[in-house]
């Protein structure tokens, strides 16, 4: 019988399509800690949803790069490239045609809530990144299966 680590290492040479199943399995193990009602979610500000979404998105990217095993510096550089506002804005633009009306409304609320920004960023890029994070936070709390579906549509690159 193989150890859990051996089973994970066996999966390193899988094709990207098979890796998607691995990613799906990882996401399934990190579902929402606690269900809250839709009325409670609607009381949460877009800024707070973006705060949560930022953490969930980074966790997703970190899990995505977990295999094949790498040095921590390589993990860090791969993850940083994906969690940059510019990359998040690109991800939002790629997802937009697939979003439902309620999701587009959450994106709009996130965009309007994006105040202040790092000086290096174009305000539109910052708004789009915040919108993506708001959507991720919202879906994490309301429809985890839909969140998983959308995250799998992202073009995160294995390097």
The residues, ordered by sequence, that sit 6+ positions from 159 with a Cβ below 8 Å of its Cβ are 78
What angle in degrees, to the nearest 10, is found between the helix axes of 101-113 and 46-64?
Answer: 110
What CA–CA distance (Å, rounded) separates 86 from 107? Answer: 16
Let me know if 54 is a catalytic residue.
Answer: yes
Q: Which residue has the tokens 């809530």?
A: 113
Contacts of 141 by beta carbon, 8 Å cutoff, 6+ apart: 32, 36, 41, 44, 49, 52
- What burial class does residue 147 get, using C-beta atoms within 10 Å of its C-beta: 0-12 exposed, 13-18 middle, 19+ buried? buried
Task: Give the active site residue among 10, 54, 101, 143.
Answer: 54
Of 45, 119, 108, the C-alpha closest to 85 is 119
Active site residues: 54
């Amino acid at each position: 019988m193989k150890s859990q680590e051996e089973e994970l290492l066996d999966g390193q040479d899988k094709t990207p399509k098979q890796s998607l199943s691995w990613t799906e399995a990882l996401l399934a193990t990190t579902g929402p800690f606690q269900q809250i009602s839709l009325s409670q979610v609607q009381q949460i500000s877009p800024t707070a949803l973006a705060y949560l979404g930022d953490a969930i998105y980074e966790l997703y990217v970190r899990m995505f790069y977990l295999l094949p095993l790498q040095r921590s510096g390589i993990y860090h550089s791969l993850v940083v490239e994906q969690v940059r506002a510019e990359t998040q804005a690109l991800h939002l633009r790629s997802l937009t045609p697939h979003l439902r009306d309620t999701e587009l409304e959450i994106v709009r609320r996130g965009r309007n809530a994006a105040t202040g920004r790092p000086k290096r960023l174009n305000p539109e890029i910052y708004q789009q990144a915040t919108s993506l994070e708001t959507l991720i936070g919202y879906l994490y709390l309301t429809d985890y299966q839909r969140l998983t579906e959308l995250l799998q549509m992202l073009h995160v690159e294995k390097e």
